[in-house]
Amino acid sequence: MRGALVALLMASTAFATAAETAAAQKFDQLALTPPMGWNSWNKFRCNVNEALIRETADAMVASGMQAAGYQYVNIDDCWHGARDSLGFIHPDPQRFPSGMRALADYVHAKGLKLGIYSDAGSETCGRRPGSRGYEAQDALTYARWGVDYLKYDWCHTDSLKAVGAYLTMRDALYRAGRPIVFSICEWGATKPWTWGAPIGHLWRTTGDIHSCFDCIKNTATGSPRGVMEILDQQVELRAYAGPGHWNDPDMLEVGNGMSVSEDRAHFSMWSVLAAPLIAGNDLSHMSAETARILTNHDVVAVDQDSLGIEGFRYSTADSVEVWFKPLVRGAWAMVILNRDTVARAVAFDWARESVVDSLSGRMAAFGTTTYRLRDLWTGVKVGTTARRLKARVPAHDVLMMQLTPTP
């Protein structure tokens, strides 16, 4: 037994020495479009186990989500057991009796990928062992298990500096040798959009999302962070995102209790933001309406557009906002968002509007080009920009269209 341990340690030391001769970096060519998948936290909190993860992988395939582009099955906090006498972390033996390697094999056999969660501090937010001081060992362990995605949280970090802490784990992952998407989760505290691009593939921009559309306006307490509040916090950040490095306004709450309109609006806005689409609901027991929202290929395509340009808020008036996102081949996504609690009549007079994106150097030339309009939620062609748009948008809902230039 001892001989085997020594051989194992020597093998890892030899591996580390060889890898250390090359400068570490983040893994390139990962997350060239915003990552798509599922994460256990929003719905299940600490109630995670291997049966849930296997069922979720099954449901991701059966529901059509895999076909729509979702691939990561991510276990959030509370999977952990204890560290052994050598410091290696093990999963909770009651919750994950078959072990993580077997779970990764199960997920991989379906053509999906496995994600896991840790924390830069001494403990995770759920008070499980954190990676502080064990970064290299943990990275090696995740690589051996076949993990494809790491969400790395920021609880119990005391005096740690975020840039250094995330660099340490980035380098540890690189040296472990398995390409792993690195998801920075420090809640926007030190503006990770300003330093995250060479370190991770995505970074949380805010504190935790809650399943309410507009908590500030529409709940008594006003304290949890709802979908609209998070949306407002993204407005200044679009310049920082692009292929391989995304702003992360947090995981989806679609199917977790908001109305169908609100879920549709939430999903539309996350797509216009080129946000990671990480579902946070119970995939094995979701309604047909929830599945229809999550698997809308046209809306997903807006999110996944290969230009990777985050959309922008073009106008705000009386609780109605108009957002645009440049797409490949001169097309645009357009969302009219009604934040009001009553339906609103909206009009858009194309000839009088000038949609210019100075960041990407693109403009929608409504004066000289006619665009065909398609409603991405009904799939219906709704005319062209030759005629003034008039529509009615229900409360907490959107009109989302694709604008395609005619030759």
Among the listed residues 92, 105, 208, 375, the single catalytic one is 208
- Please name the amino acid found at residue 9: L
Q: Does 269 bind ligand GLA (CB under 6 A)?
A: no
Question: How many whole angstroms separate alpha carbon 245 and alpha carbon 30?
Answer: 9
41, 72, 79, 366: residue in contact with ligand GLA (rule CB under 6 A): 41
Look up tokens 């076949």; give the residue. 146
Which residue intervals of 177-296 are DSSP H helices? 215-218, 227-232, 260-272, 288-294
- Please name the amino acid found at residue 96: F
Residue nearest to ligand GLA (CB): 125
Question: How many whole angstroms separate alpha carbon 44 and alpha carbon 52?
Answer: 9
Is residue 153 flagged as an active site residue?
yes
Is residue 357 flagged as an active site residue?
no
266 half-sphere exposure, CB direction, 13 A CA radius = 33
Which residue intervals of 21-69 are DSSP H helices? 41-44, 50-62, 65-68
User: What would the 3-class secondary structure string for 356-374 be?
Assistant: EECCCCEEECCCCCCEEEE
50, 76, 282, 303: residue in contact with ligand GLA (rule CB under 6 A): 76
Q: Does 153 bind ligand GLA (CB under 6 A)?
A: yes
Count of chain residues binding ligand GLA (CB under 6 A): 10
CB of 46 to ligand GLA, least distance (A): 8
CB of 359 to ligand GLA, least distance (A): 28
CB of 77 to ligand GLA, least distance (A): 4
Q: Does 115 bind ligand GLA (CB under 6 A)?
A: no
104, 125, 139, 150: residue in contact with ligand GLA (rule CB under 6 A): 125
3-state secondary structure of 35: coil
List b or e across 195-212, with b for residues whose CB sees 16 or more CB atoms inside 10 angstroms. bbbebbbbbbbbeebbbb
Cβ contacts of 69 within 8 Å, gap of 6 or more: 36, 277, 300, 304
Tokens at residue 360, please? 């990407």
Q: Does 38 bind ligand GLA (CB under 6 A)?
A: no
CB closer to ligand GLA out of 181 and 327: 181
126, 196, 200, 226: residue in contact with ligand GLA (rule CB under 6 A): 126
CB closer to ligand GLA out of 44 and 70: 44
Among the listed residues 76, 153, 171, 214, the single catalytic one is 153
- Nearest Cα neighbor of 151 from 78, 51, 237, 232 is 78
Q: Does 208 bind ligand GLA (CB under 6 A)?
A: yes
CB of 112 to ligand GLA, least distance (A): 20
CB closer to ligand GLA out of 119 and 135: 119
Active site residues: 153, 208
Q: Which residues bind ligand GLA (CB under 6 A)?
A: 41, 76-77, 124-126, 153, 185, 187, 208
